[in-house]
Structure 1
């Protein structure tokens, strides 16, 4: 543990920020699994709702800095591919 007061505060702040980033990434993974399940069941209304919520969560995570913008774009593209289904 650090001896300097400002460094102790920084360590605590880093931990809080790390946990918030984990919350975002975990929520994104959960929503992606829900999206895949909805598409697998053939529930189009549920799938579009899940897709909308997933994209919103990804955008919030990118805005907050939990995800890099390219990572967010890649995850949104993968979600769009799941929604589109297999190529004919």
Structure 2
């Protein structure tokens, strides 16, 4: 553990940010997984609504710096193509 006051504060803020980012990333993954479950169940109307939610969460993750914009674009493209294939 750090002895210097500023290093102690930095360690605390880093931990708080890590926990916050982990929660945001988990919420993003959950939104994507909900969509994939709806696609598996052949629920087209529900899947369309969940795609919108998953896309929104991916865009938010890009804005917050959790994932790269190209990674989000790739995931959105793959999710959209799964909906179209239904």
Q: 1:85 maps to which residue?
A: 85
Partner deviation per Cα, 1:7-57 (whole Å, 9 max, x = no partner): 111111111111122112211221222111111222111101110011111
Moved more, 23-32 or 50-59: 23-32
Q: 1:24 maps to which residue?
A: 24
Structure 1 Cα separation of the partners of residues 22 and 81 of structure 2: 25
| TM-score, normalised via structure 1 length | 0.83
Q: 1:59 maps to which residue?
A: 59
Partner deviation per Cα, 1:37-85 (whole Å, 9 max, x = no partner): 1112221111011100111111111111122222222221221122122
Structure 2 portions without partners, runs of 5+ = none
Q: 2:35 maps to which residue?
A: 35
Q: Does 1:49 align with 2:49?
A: yes
Give SS of 2:66's match: coil
Structure 1 portions without partners, runs of 5+ = none
